[in-house]
Amino acid sequence: MRRWFPILLLAAMLALLPGAAAAQETGQDGDFLLRVNSPLRVAPDDSVDTAMAVNADGTFDGVVRDTAIVINGTAVVNGRVNGDLTVINGQADLRDGARVNNVALINSTLIQAPGAQVTGQISRSTATFSPWAATAAWFVFWLGMTVATIVAGLLFAAIGGRQLSAAGAFLVTRPGAAILAALILAIGLPILGIVLVSTIVGIPLGLALFLILLPALWFVGYLIAGTRLGAVLLRAAGVQVAPEHPYLAAVVGPLVLQLIGLIPVIGSLVVALAGLYGVGGGAVLAWRAFRTPRTPRPEAPAAGAPAPAP
């Protein structure tokens, strides 16, 4: 077996912050103030760099040095906003004594008292959401990703088809080892990335691991799992699959997974687990290749040297 090494893995990292409230006490030197689903207020003697209210009203009696943002609420300004006041799906209420540099209104209205000053520009825009346009854009993205996946699978089958088939075979013959390897890598590599990012010298390596290596390894695992699925489906249909170059399996399997991915929630979970499982199969292949000693080739006799006796 050739020593071919895709040291694969997937980082099943779904660590997204839900939009819960980040409650922070207003202070004289506060840099950022955020309220979600609860009213925000900058007191008259307070100042902050940036203030944002989401699904709530924002009252700015003090000083906002840079940006004030209110989404789905009313922005009441009695003090100063030295930068930009942005209101989305709400209302800007500039009262007597208010002083604002720029005002940006998106799907919002403006009430300006005679004593309120806007020293910069007032911009108004309307953002409309079309479900059909969003669906069309999403479908185009899905179609592009599907084509890219199939092309990548064909290239993999052409260049490393035997390794692709061997890694996929371990998903059936050694499922326990594949799952264990996938879990070890999926936990170990993100931890390594966190350790690297926590050091100044290792920040570039840690970012490269999270942004490049982990997604690339998951994609390779997705191709391995997809090609194996394609081989199983083709054999069930009576079609022979060449392990050296499984072109047809590399098309059918990933295409089926992409179609499964269209199912809400469940489809995304299946796709994520398929990539992770494929990473395990690739890791088992790499480990076995590493453990298998390479048989040295016999050296050819030198020119003019007598042939060995039979």
Tokens of 117: 């000053």
If pLDDT is split at 50, 70 and 90, which confidence band does 7 have? very low
How far is the C-alpha of 70 from the C-alpha of 41, rounded, in Å?
Answer: 11
**Residue-wise pLDDT tens digits, 232-260:** 999 999 999 988 999 999 999 999 999 99
- What is the crossing angle of helices 175-197 and 131-173, to 10°? 120
**Mean of pLDDT values over 40-48:** 92
CA-closest candidate to residue 225, choices 176, 278, 175: 278
The model's pTM is 0.61
Q: Given this model, what pLDDT does residue 202 score? A: 87
Q: Which two tokens stand for residue 203?
A: 């920040």
pLDDT higher than 90, residue 132: no
Name the β-bridge partners of 117: 99
Q: Report the pLDDT value the prediction gives residue 32, as an integer from 0 to 100.
A: 81
pLDDT in tens, 19-39: 333 334 434 445 788 888 889
30 or 178: whose pLDDT is higher?
178
The answer to whether 213 and 1 have CB atoms below 8 angstroms apart is no
Query: In one letter, which amino acid is 265?
Result: V
